[in-house]
Structure 1
């Protein structure tokens, strides 16, 4: 029987979806519903992909304050946007084919992830060294982005700043559908591996003692994390602290390490935050702020709180 708290989260998530689709309907209903449906699909895709990828990443790394952004994927994305604006200018960047740009960004981020994971698989490198490599590459990409940003004119710099935050307003239906298919496939794989995740969550030595090929399993899971993060980031932009926010809330609310409960709980909370937050911003605050900025601010505060609480234990 499903956990009662999980049912409550599912009901709230469904209510958020209905509110997003129905509040303030006027004008051409077919056009408005189609536009909102596309935006809702993108919100759901990003919510589920970031929630699942963060839970997986924290399970494999055995650390509840880390997010997949530590692998440098977000920094690579930002560097790519800055380099494109620097090379092509603001107008040239805006005229790029969205599908080609999406595909190139996904491939680049997956290539970076494979480059980090390959030594882990081939030489049984320690996980901490892989994470350190990711942090170092992230600092490198951020430094290069900052350098190029200083050489841009104000108009081009404004374009880069816009691309630095998640944007749910300019979406293409074909790219959103591709991202949704990838996310659904990953969600099915994660659900089938939920019992394996429970074992991996016990720690490397314990998992190996229970018969798990830890290095191979961890590499596959991290590659799956990289695909999810790459697709969602290329679709709407970076959301570094969002995964930390929903994963921490799911763990505190469910009070369990069972992934059969953690994975859906984190996904429902992510849907509530994204869809419900977008609904409040649009209809309650008149679009006075950007959802991505608000989420990053709240996630950053939670990250600091987790660090402080962890240091006091």
Structure 2
């Protein structure tokens, strides 16, 4: 039987989607609906992928204030954008084939994740040490990005700054559909593994005692996290604190650690935040700001609140 809170969240997300598609319709209605439909699909895909990846990452690491960005994937993406602008210039960067660029970015981020996970599988590396490696690589990529940024001319630097925030305005239909397929497959895999996730959430020793091969399960889940983050980041750009925001809200609403409720709740909250936020900014505030900046600001506040509340326990 469906939880009443999930039904309410689903109704709100549906209302947000309808408002996004219908508010302010004018001109060529068919063209506008097609454009908004593509944008809505991208918003839903990014919302679901970031929400699921954050819940999985927090479950495996047993830490509710961490996000997948700690693995350095966002920093690698930003370094890649900066390096491309530095090597090709602003015009060359703008003329890159979008499909090839998307594929290269996804493969690079997955390769980084596999490089971090390989020692975990080979030598039973401690999870904390793997996370420390990710933080170190993230600092390295950010430092290299800052170095290259100082060597760019102002116009090229403006292009890099634009790529540093999530952008939901310039989307390709083929890439959005590909990202949606990957997200759907990942969501199905996560749903089938929801009971195993409940066991993993009890801790490494308890999970092993209950018959879970913790090392392989953790590595597989982290690789799935990397794929979801890579696809969504390559499609719209980095959204570091968004997952933390929706995961925290979902936990407060559901008041449970059962993944059968937590996963769909986080996905629905993420859809409400993204689709509803984009609708409000676009039609209520006249596009006065960008959604990515607002989400990062709100997510940063939630992060600080979690740190303060955690220190008082």
TM range (shorter): over 0.9
Counterpart for residue 71 of structure 1: 71
Counterpart for residue 145 of structure 1: 145
Q: 1:97, CA displacement in angstroms?
A: 0.4
2-structure distance, mates of 1:93, 1:139 = 24
Counterpart for residue 131 of structure 2: 131
Q: 1:42, CA displacement in angstroms?
A: 0.3
Q: 1:3, CA displacement in angstroms?
A: 1.1
Counterpart for residue 186 of structure 1: 186
Q: 1:91, CA displacement in angstroms?
A: 0.6
Q: 1:2, CA displacement in angstroms?
A: 1.1
1:46-195 correspondence to structure 2 within 5 Å: 46-195=46-195
Q: 1:278, CA displacement in angstroms?
A: 0.2
2-structure distance, mates of 1:253, 1:120 = 34
Q: 1:167, CA displacement in angstroms?
A: 0.3
| Aligned partner of residue 278 in structure 1, secondary structure | helix
Q: 1:224, CA displacement in angstroms?
A: 0.2
1-structure distance, mates of 2:5, 2:33 = 31
The list of structure 1 runs, each at least 4 consecutive aligned residues, that deviate by more than 2 angstroms after superposition, is none
Counterpart for residue 258 of structure 2: 258
Deviations along 1:149-199, one digit per CA (max 9) or x if unpaired, are: 000000000000000000000000000000000000000000000000000
| Aligned partner of residue 181 in structure 1, secondary structure | helix
2-structure distance, mates of 1:282, 1:236 = 17
Q: CA RMSD in A?
A: 0.3
| Aligned partner of residue 256 in structure 2, secondary structure | coil
Counterpart for residue 42 of structure 2: 42
Residue 221 (structure 1) aligned with residue 210 (structure 2): no
1-structure distance, mates of 2:206, 2:14 = 39
Residue 240 (structure 1) aligned with residue 247 (structure 2): no
Question: Is there any run of 5+ residues in structure 2 with no aligned partner, and where?
Answer: none
| Aligned partner of residue 24 in structure 1, secondary structure | coil
| Aligned partner of residue 252 in structure 1, secondary structure | helix
Q: 1:275, CA displacement in angstroms?
A: 0.2
Counterpart for residue 2 of structure 2: 2
2-structure distance, mates of 1:72, 1:11 = 35
Q: 1:230, CA displacement in angstroms?
A: 0.1
Deviations along 1:50-74, one digit per CA (max 9) or x if unpaired, are: 0000000000000000000000000
2-structure distance, mates of 1:47, 1:229 = 11
Q: How many residues align structurally?
A: 313
Superposition TM-score, scaled by structure 1 size: 1.00
1-structure distance, mates of 2:200, 2:215 = 11
1:273-312 correspondence to structure 2 within 5 Å: 273-312=273-312
Q: 1:272, CA displacement in angstroms?
A: 0.2
Deviations along 1:1-42, one digit per CA (max 9) or x if unpaired, are: 111111100100000000000111111011000000000000
1-structure distance, mates of 2:184, 2:158 = 34
| Aligned partner of residue 211 in structure 2, secondary structure | coil
1-structure distance, mates of 2:252, 2:62 = 16
Superposition TM-score, scaled by structure 2 size: 1.00
1:267-278 correspondence to structure 2 within 5 Å: 267-278=267-278
1-structure distance, mates of 2:141, 2:18 = 40
Q: 1:141, CA displacement in angstroms?
A: 0.1
2-structure distance, mates of 1:302, 1:152 = 34
